[in-house]
Chains A and B, each alone.
Chain A
Amino acid sequence: MILRPGSSLSVTSAGSGWPPAVFDPAGPYSEPVTTLAWALLLGGTAVFALVLAALGVALFGSAALKARLGGEKAIWIGGFAFPAVVLTGLLIWGLMLTSSLSATRVTGAEMRVKIIGEMWWWRVHYQDAEGRETLRDANELHIPVGKPVLLELETADVIHSFWVPRLGGKMDMIPGRTNRLLIQADKPGVYKGQCAEYCGGPHALMGFIVVAHTAEDFARWKASRVPARGEQGRGLELFLSSGCAACHTIRGTPATGLAGPDLTHVGSRQTLGAGILPNNPGTMAGWIADAQAIKPANRMPAYHQLSAEELLAVSEYLVRRK
């Protein structure tokens, strides 16, 4: 259940390693967070060293030094003036530094996406400039580089927290609320994310990836989001007859379930199981046959009733959903 550093190499090809790099900003909404984090870390270390030095004096110093440390002046300076000045300065500087992060008004210049946290995956609803839904997907967000992306973050059940450390800050998804967060990538690439608020069971296996494209690649990706029409075959038949369609939608087919991730383009995703496995015919078959062994307590049952031939037919069909 615990995703350890050494055990997640299977997603290194999809993401930028595990855990997601937290001190390696890749956009303007992550840089201030990183700067502030370093300032807090180094400043905190310096203050800790000062306190230890004072403790050393109190324990082992000469009587004269001890008297000075315990004097009224030292307490006014070290106990009152120093923290007041440092903490006030830090607050003002921190608010100024991170003011761009909280400027989450819709200006029309940004891309808009609604992301809904579920136990234990992510619904991704792309929106137009007016906030109308244009496309549904899951567990993977595609964005153009150099453009701010305004995320509306909601949850369908418990509190989750959306966090793609290299692209922006961390924002809780709270029941009954819509929280906003800006992210942006300055370079094309794959950026790993992770649910950052314990949400039960396989919380540690609730990953996410953001794929940042150049403008041309993004336009090409967007144009490719058209479901295949009028398709038939054994894989689809089995998908419909085995119960998959009760929870999953494949646009352009009678499969319209809403409980699980939309699978219209599942074959094009870089990961399976919400950012935890690479996506290939082997992992697809393994996930369908026994998702419980991989991500215990997730809502997808093990499909032990499928024969080997049926399992391969369904997984091959899904892998082809590009």
Chain B
Amino acid sequence: MIWKGGVAGSMLMILAACDPAPIEPPLADAGSIARGKAAAQRLGCGACHELPGIDWPKGRIGPSLAGFGNRALIAGTLPNDLPRLAAFVADAPSLVPGSGMPAVPMDAGEAHDIAAWLQSQRD
């Protein structure tokens, strides 16, 4: 049994070594991610966006935010890092002039949590 386990274990290690090593920022803490989802629901982000894990509403005017953590760019222009995403979530027009997304009143904590939640969407 020990022998078999050792073989399986070493094979797993070999397989793991075959995975590409994605350079991903670490996830924010679970509390922040959960608060971010609740804040996105409370603020009604779904009026324009399809949101991962939220059944209704599924707005179509803005892009779906499913798998947002895999995206390289915010709104096709800005690097998708946490501080920039948080700033964009709260005040899109000041970062991307001409965006149809309005500035939405929220505090810095909410913006940070929503950004953390969006970046945790990596499916």
* A contacts, CB < 8 Å to B: 2-4, 6-10, 12-13, 272, 276-278, 280-287, 289-290, 293-295, 308-309, 311-312, 315-316
Known contacts A7-B55, A293-B58, A308-B98; is A282 also within 8 Å of B42 by CB?
no
Looking at the complex, which one of B38, B43, B58 makes contact with A282 (CB distance below 8 Å)? Answer: B43
State the 3 A-B residue pairs at the shortest beta-carbon distance, nearest first: A286-B47, A308-B100, A286-B48
Name the CB-closest residue of B to A290: B61
Are A283's CB and B100's CB within 8 A? no
Residues of A within 8 A of B56 (CB): 2-4, 7-8
A8 to B56, CA, bound (A): 7
A2 to B58, CA, bound (A): 12
Most-contacted residue by chain A among B45, B47, B58, B103 (CB, 10 A): B47
**Known contacts A10-B43, A13-B42, A308-B98; can you find 19 more A-B pairs with CB under 8 A?**
A2-B56, A4-B55, A4-B56, A9-B42, A276-B57, A277-B44, A277-B57, A278-B43, A281-B105, A282-B43, A283-B44, A285-B100, A285-B102, A290-B60, A290-B61, A293-B57, A293-B61, A308-B99, A312-B93
Looking at the complex, which one of B41, B42, B59, B102 makes contact with A294 (CB distance below 8 Å)? Answer: B59
CB distance from A289 to the nearest CB of B (A): 4
A282 to B47, CA, bound (A): 8
Are A286's CB and B59's CB within 8 A? yes
Chain B 85-117 interface 0/1 with A at a Cβ cutoff of 8 Å (1 = within):
000000001000011111111000000000000
Name the CB-closest residue of B to A312: B102
Known contacts A10-B41, A290-B60; is A280 also within 8 Å of B100 by CB?
no
A295 to B41, CA, bound (A): 16
A interface: dominant SS: helix
A312 to B92, CA, bound (A): 12
Are A10's CB and B98's CB within 8 A? no
Residues of A within 8 A of B47 (CB): 272, 277, 282-283, 285-287, 294
CB distance from B99 to the nearest CB of A (A): 6
B27 on the A face (CB < 8 A) = no
Are B104's CB and A281's CB within 8 A? yes
Name the CB-closest residue of A to B42: A13
Most-contacted residue by chain A among B98, B102, B105 (CB, 10 A): B102
Are B42's CB and A10's CB within 8 A? yes
Are A312's CB and B100's CB within 8 A? yes
CB distance from B107 to the nearest CB of A (A): 13
Name the CB-closest residue of A to B98: A308
Are B55's CB and A286's CB within 8 A? no
Residues of A within 8 A of B93 (CB): 312
Query: 18 A-B pairs, CB-CB below 8 angstroms?
Result: A7-B55, A8-B56, A10-B44, A10-B57, A278-B43, A278-B44, A281-B103, A282-B101, A283-B44, A285-B100, A286-B44, A286-B47, A286-B61, A289-B61, A294-B46, A294-B59, A295-B57, A312-B102
